[in-house]
Amino acid sequence: MKNVVILGQSNYSWLWILLAKKFKEEHGAKIHFISSAPAGVAYWKKRDKNGTIDSFVTTNHFFTEYDNLNDSYENIYAKAREYEDKYKTLAVDVLQADRHLGRGFSAAGVGHPRSALSDKADYIKSINIINKAIIFWEDYFEKIKPDLMIGVAGGVIGKTCAMVARHRGIPIRAFAPSGYQSYFYWRTDEYHSIPDIEKNFCSITNVRELVTEDEIWNLKRLPWSDKNYKRIQQYSSMVFTFKQICGQIKRYLYKKINHIVTMGNYKLSDVIKCAWRMHTEMRYMEKFNAVDIDKLSALSYVFFPLHLEPETALGVLSPEFNEQMALIELLAKNLPAGNFLVVKEHIGAIGRRPAEFYQTLKDIPNVLIAHPYAYALDIARKARCVAVISSTLGTEAVILGIPVISFGIHTNFKFLPYVYVVESWKELRPLLAKLLGGDTEEAKKQRKEDGMKYLAALKAVSVDLHWSDYSSAKREPATEREVEVLYSSLIKSLGV
């Protein structure tokens, strides 16, 4: 392994330098680091006290190049179609991965803050910048010739990077939560794929040595997840909202003074507006007349948890279908009489929805709205089935043995017999009739067995970091144990 490229994602900044050092020690590899801006390079150089990183490259120049059309419209579109054929990915799929250039694809997230880039977004210029990004990665990979790429980013830059790397046969590994407790794995692409999980599911025989029935029965979200939810709930407080706005102003001025320009610099006015909308809508939600969760057990219903939008879970993980409002209408319009669709808001999306969004949902006769503060797993346990696009709840549902309707085609659980991947609206009516028509004890028992087996397979490709401070926003660099465990699991995933 001669060359390793690391895309320095900030949420795991505690890991990258020491992981790079491990690769250098074990393989003598050269380490090439990708940062979004020069300020990031300065940050990483400061942390890299031993000179582990051999080269740096930044990607923020694409923002300043956005307005520069270097060819005719016809040639730009022709080049884009050529790349679509070569990389088997439509240009619009790249745009969906970007919160700024593709924000128009997020109709249920129009309140998300705008940026200077989203304000000046223009179709031909966006297609042109996709072409430029592909050329950039083609040249970069030709020069570096990486044997491994660590990290996957969102946006035009990250999506095109993954496309070109995949086409050139460069292995990709990105550190990510598995969707279960404190387990993490090394995904192999921007879709969070775990290729070995189905193979493990078919080969595992010692399920009950890896998973207990009590573990399934007591399945709950981790405390850090609840902590994050509680932090967002605090927006109902005027004092908390004011502090958050002050913090945003401070961060904005810091970037302004230090001339930090990236693709995702949000407008200060929009950030403040979004914080205020979160405050007002959180207050509204506290008085919201939601369905009583305790009474749901008496109803027959399908559960759909809304996704945050715009977000990776939609634009990146499911570019083929991610229209949430259309999905809700499709489900509701195909339910047999006496059955309901229960919809629960993602608390992080409050303040980003269109005006009258919740009233529109309330007006659909067979739709019930759960309170955003309700515990999603409690609703899922009582549901006849769960519908998702791409969601942690989908993973939790299959572990619990609950039938899942998946509108995303890249999930890691799509091979299970009680997961139904919908690729046409015509499939919905007979599918819902089947799932809501009745269940047998034998079928429930088999799903329970498969759920335990799936969890065992998931554990087999993951590492449990319950002992690690992985979720802390500010923490010390990785410990020797963390580096050894994560390096070993990465190497194992490569089959080295």
- Bigger pLDDT: 11 vs 151: 151
Classify residue 23: in a domain, yes or no: no
Lowest average pLDDT, out of 38-42, 104-108, 324-328, 365-369, goes to 38-42
Quickly state the pLDDT bin for 455 (edges 50, 70, 90).
Answer: very high
What pLDDT score was predicted for residue 64?
Answer: 84
Whether residues 300 and 397 fall in one domain? yes
Task: Tell me: do 276 and 384 sit in the same domain.
Answer: no
At 259 the pLDDT is 77
The average pLDDT across 159-185 equals 94
pLDDT, position 277: 93
∠ CA 318-320-325, nearest 5°, is 80
Quick one: pLDDT at residue 16? Answer: 93
In angstroms and rounded to an integer, the radius of gyration of the C-alpha atoms of the chain is 23
In a domain, 155, yes or no: no
Min mean pLDDT across 50-64, 90-104, 410-424 is at 50-64
Position 26 scores a pLDDT of 94
Higher pLDDT, 473 or 182: 182
Q: Which residue intervals of 59-102 are DSSP H helices?
A: 61-65, 73-87, 91-96
pLDDT band of residue 139 (cuts 50, 70, 90) is very high
Given a contact cutoff of 8 angstroms between Cβ atoms, the answer to whether 161 and 189 are in contact is no
Confidence band (pLDDT; 50, 70, 90) for 79? very high
The predicted model gives 447-473 an average pLDDT of: 91
pLDDT given for residue 156 in this prediction:
94
Would you place residue 471 in the very low, low, confident or very high pLDDT band (cuts 50, 70, 90)? confident
Is 159 within the bounds of a domain? no
* Within a domain: 348: yes
Would 190 be classed as within a structural domain? no
Residues 57-69 have a mean pLDDT of 89
pLDDT of residue 400: 95
Q: What is the structure's pLDDT at 473? A: 66
Summarize pLDDT for 160-170 with one digit per residue, the tens: 999 999 999 99
Angle value at C-alpha 420, between 418 and 426, nearest 5 degrees: 145
Whole-number pLDDT of residue 31? 97
Written as six digits, the tokens of 176 are 């990510």
User: Is 384 in the same domain as 364?
Assistant: yes
Q: How confident is the model at residue 264 (pLDDT cuts 50, 70, 90)?
A: low
pLDDT for 263 equals 65
The mean pLDDT value for 285-292 works out to 85
Q: Would strands 463-464 and 183-187 be described as parallel, antiparallel, or unpaired?
A: antiparallel
pLDDT at residue 425 in the model:
92
Domain match, 331 and 431 both: yes
Burial label, 387 (beta-carbon count in 10 A; 0-12, 13-18, 19+)? buried
Residue 176: inside a domain, yes or no? no
Within 8 A by CB and 6+ apart from 344, the residues are 303, 304, 305, 306, 369, 370, 371, 372, 374, 376, 379
- Do 277 and 343 lie in one domain? The reply is no
Task: Indicate whether 84 belongs to any domain.
Answer: no
Residue 416 lies in a domain: yes
Say whether both 299 and 433 belong to one domain: yes
Which of the residue ranges 36-45, 225-234, 284-293, 428-437 would you say has the lowest mean pLDDT? 225-234
Q: 354 and 272, same structural domain?
A: no
Look at the chain and report how many structural domains it folds into.
2
* Cα–Cα distance measured from residue 202 to residue 454, given in angstroms and rounded to the nearest whole number: 9
Same-domain check for residues 296 and 279 = no
Residue 470 pLDDT: 84
Instruction: Give the rounded percent of residues in the chain with a pLDDT score beyond 70.
Output: 98
Q: What domain range is 350 assigned to? A: 217-221+290-310+319-459
**Residue 233 or 480, more confident:** 480
Q: Which residues contact 453 (CB under 8 A, 6 or more apart)?
A: 201, 204, 207, 211
Do 328 and 451 fall within a single domain? yes
pLDDT digit string, tens, across residues 186-225:
999 999 998 899 999 999 888 988 898 888 888 887 655 6
Q: How confident is the model at residue 231 (pLDDT cuts 50, 70, 90)?
A: confident
Which is nearest to 150 in space by CA: 258, 55, 12?
12
Is the domain of 357 the same as that of 400? yes
> Quick one: pLDDT at residue 495?
86
- Is residue 340 domain-shared with residue 269, that is, in the same domain? no
Which of 99-113, 208-222, 239-253, 331-345 has the least mean pLDDT? 208-222
Are 378 and 364 part of one and the same domain?
yes
Average pLDDT of the residues of the chain: 92
Q: What CATH number does residue 399 fall under?
A: 3.40.50.2000
Q: Given this model, what pLDDT does residue 312 score?
A: 87
Percent of the chain with pLDDT over 90: 72
Mean pLDDT throughout 75-100? 96
How far apart are alpha carbons 158 and 164 in whole angstroms?
Answer: 10
